[in-house]
Structure 1
Amino acid sequence: MNITAIQEVRWTNSGSLKSQGNTLLYSGGDKHEYGVGFVIRDNAATNIVRFQPISDRICYIELKCKWYNMFLINCYAPTEDKSDDIKNKFYEDLDLVCNTLPIGKPKIILGDFNAKIGKENIYKPTIGYESLHEITNDNGNKLITFATTKNMIISNTFFPHKNIHKQTFISPCGLVRNQIDHMLVDNRIKLCVKDIRSMRECSAMSDHFLVKAKIKLRISTKWRKNNKYKEKINKDILKTTTAEVHQEKISIKLRDIQEMANLNETWEKKRWFNDECKAAQEEKEKARTKVLQNPSEDNKRLLAQK
């Protein structure tokens, strides 16, 4: 995938890191908790107009498209057991971010919202008919309310799939499986989203599955790495504008980020990460794969012990 939104980065402050053809743009706080970011393939980097870290729960990028720019907002919402004050603060911050962005530019809000979306008829215009759960929890109600006020839909609950491809989270014991990662889309571009489903075969060493969205937009021609046709010189294109200068500066910054040979090598240098940790991580991943293939009680018990 060209652009991947990730949560629970757990890095302090904000910054960027380049490795193996990808650039990680991350936003964190003062502590090693929460954290959000974007992993961007090199062939998409030139279409990133800007990256804006907001907090350890929210960040966004502005993406240059063919006819307009679009914003991707990455979120990590508080869990269901957190107090209403903490939850309300998150949605107030998210609302403030949305209100500061240009109204004319479409937005996609995605991430881990810890929200179960049910099948209540009153919410159908916003959630569709394909959610995994029957009853909406408190986080789900807050997410639906936010989407409705912003004239957005929760796009992933509109696509029919097997339940295993709707699940985005599996507990360490393998007993609890939820759909709590979502993607909110402006109503005006909802038809651009062709499909959303979880990718069980993609291991991210996490209790969450990777969620893949297929979006068909008119992206700038810079996105196409190998252009087969040479365009005629257009004098108007040669005229420098402020926006183009800014975009070029961003592209240069992304190219100049220090190249790291391997992120795993960097992490392994940490004192807490040794061969024993690596072996335990691999054993847990094997146990997790067994549960996905055969969710027997023995396999679930084995995963819970890892």
Structure 2
Amino acid sequence: MKEYNVDLVALQEVRWPGSGHLKSDNMTVFYSGNDNGRHEYGVGFIVKESLICSKEIRSKTADNDYKDSFYDNLERVFDLIPRNCVRIVVGDQNAQVGREHVFRYTIGKESMHIESNDNGLRLISFASTKGLVINSTQFQRKEIYKQTWVSPDGKTKSQIDHILIDKRYRTSVRQKKLNSKTRLEIEKIKDHEIAKTYRQNLNNELIEKSHNAVQNIDERWNIVKNSINKSSEIFKKENTSHVKNSWYNDRCREAIGKRAEARIKMIQDPSPNNTEEFIKTKKIANKILRQEKRAAEKDLIQKIEVHRLNQDYSLKNVDQ
């Protein structure tokens, strides 16, 4: 949350039994799950200074009585919120919202799906009767960025998580594109020795590039820009964030290396034996990757569960 500068995060499939909240620093984790002790379903949110309701329809195949009960409860809770507050509904509604023209004012025209399913129609009906708009289907994006759920086999993709907000505040929800811009260390910029080295490097870069006769103004600008970017690398902020796929260890690297060797051998000589060997090493490598990833996820879940049961156990001990 600190890295992306957000004040609230909605959580789905928390899978914690019961309900409650955890505190860490200036954040609070609210969660709600089953009362039968099973680690299934469940929702929650991490919040700083505001509060929001987060609820989940368990399945698109749930019976109509359950869905009716859900929206009755949601409507009752929603009506308790004062009208002078910014009312937002966020979460996994298992609702596929379409692009029907008749609902255009409420849903926009940028949904991943063409037609609304039953849960989608229920969500649209709730939004329209409560003066809300579904903002998650209002932004023009590539299909890959619209999907919020992917089946385990990776074949089925859907947009079922949505954000609803009062229509008078619809412009308050904006599309955020995350990128990896280079960050500079301010303290390094203030260091006179490092600044002196930067000036020398920049001067050398410009002298080296200026040997080529360049008449075009755009080419001249690119030379200056690239020289500045290259010279300023000494000011780069060291990446202290956790490495992506921290579970990727020496065992994984060895398996991937063997798979790469078998693949090259098969390409050079596509004989039945080499093809069979590649398929074999590929299956072994995929199996090892799954094992290491699941082991790391299991360890992380255990640490989170320890913190949930023991408030003295700091969330800082949990790997990101």
Structure 2 residue 97 is matched with structure 1 residue 92: no
Larger radius of gyration between Structure 1 and Structure 2: 2
Q: Which residue of 1 aligns with 2:42?
A: 35
Structure 2 residue 4 is matched with structure 1 residue 2: no
Q: Is the 8 Å Cα contact of residues 78 and 87 (structure 1) preserved in structure 2? A: no
* Cα displacement (A) at 1:3: 1.3
Which residue of the other structure, out of 72, 77, 82, is the alignment partner of 2:57?
77
Would the alpha carbon gap of residues 20 and 137 (structure 1) be closer, same or farther in structure 2, given more than 3 Å must change?
Answer: same
Structure 2 residue 114 is matched with structure 1 residue 134: yes
* Structure 1 unmatched runs, 5+: 49-60, 62-71, 202-275, 285-306
Structure 2 residue 202 is matched with structure 1 residue 189: no
Cα distance in 2 between the residues matched to 1:28 and 1:282: 24
Would the alpha carbon gap of residues 16 and 169 (structure 1) be closer, same or farther in structure 2, given more than 3 Å must change?
Answer: same
Q: Which residue of 2 aligns with 1:281?
A: 294
* Cα displacement (A) at 1:21: 6.6
* Cα displacement (A) at 1:136: 0.7
Q: Which residue of 2 aligns with 1:300?
A: none
Q: Is the 8 Å Cα contact of residues 41 and 58 (structure 2) preserved in structure 1? A: no
**Alignment-mate amino acid for residue 9 of structure 1:** V
Q: Is the 8 Å Cα contact of residues 113 and 182 (structure 1) preserved in structure 2? A: yes
Cα distance in 1 between the residues matched to 2:35 and 2:290: 25
**Alignment-mate amino acid for residue 32 of structure 2:** S
**Alignment-mate amino acid for residue 31 of structure 2:** Y
Corresponding residue SS for 1:74? coil
Would the alpha carbon gap of residues 101 and 283 (structure 1) be closer, same or farther in structure 2, given more than 3 Å must change?
Answer: closer
* Cα displacement (A) at 1:34: 2.1
Larger RCO, structures 1/2 (Cα 8 Å, 6+ apart): 1
Cα distance in 2 between the residues matched to 1:115 and 1:90: 13
Deviations 1:69-88 (Å, cap 9, x if unpaired)? Answer: xxx22121132111111111
Corresponding residue SS for 2:17? coil
Q: Is the 8 Å Cα contact of residues 89 and 164 (structure 2) preserved in structure 1? A: yes
**Alignment-mate amino acid for residue 28 of structure 1:** G
Corresponding residue SS for 2:28? strand
Which residue of the other structure, out of 123, 128, 137, is the alignment partner of 1:148?
128
Q: How does 1:189-208 map to 2 (within 5 A)?
A: 189-195=169-175
Q: Which residue of 2 aligns with 1:26?
A: 31
Q: Which residue of 2 aligns with 1:214?
A: none
* Cα displacement (A) at 1:102: 1.4
Would the alpha carbon gap of residues 163 and 277 (structure 1) be closer, same or farther in structure 2, given more than 3 Å must change?
Answer: closer
Q: How does 1:218-229 map to 2 (within 5 A)?
A: none
Deviations 1:228-286 (Å, cap 9, x if unpaired)? Answer: xxxxxxxxxxxxxxxxxxxxxxxxxxxxxxxxxxxxxxxxxxxxxxxx997352699xx
* Cα displacement (A) at 1:22: 4.3
Q: Is the 8 Å Cα contact of residues 81 and 87 (structure 2) preserved in structure 1? A: no
Structure 2 residue 122 is matched with structure 1 residue 117: no
* Structure 2 unmatched runs, 5+: 1-5, 181-288, 298-320
**Alignment-mate amino acid for residue 136 of structure 1:** S
Q: Is the 8 Å Cα contact of residues 28 and 36 (structure 1) preserved in structure 2? A: yes
Would the alpha carbon gap of residues 280 and 92 (structure 1) be closer, same or farther in structure 2, given more than 3 Å must change?
Answer: same
Q: Is the 8 Å Cα contact of residues 95 and 120 (structure 2) preserved in structure 1? A: yes
Greater strand content: 1
Cα distance in 1 between the residues matched to 2:122 and 2:150: 22
**Alignment-mate amino acid for residue 12 of structure 1:** P
Q: Which residue of 2 aligns with 1:264?
A: none
TM-score by length of 2: 0.52
Cα distance in 2 between the residues matched to 1:75 and 1:186: 18
Cα distance in 2 between the residues matched to 1:121 and 1:282: 48
Cα distance in 1 between the residues matched to 2:114 and 2:295: 35
Deviations 1:81-123 (Å, cap 9, x if unpaired)? Answer: 1111111111111001011221221201010010111111111
Q: Which residue of 1 aligns with 2:271?
A: none
Greater helix content: 2
Cα distance in 2 between the residues matched to 1:277 and 1:174: 15
Cα distance in 1 between the residues matched to 2:15 and 2:296: 23
Q: Which residue of 1 aligns with 2:313?
A: none
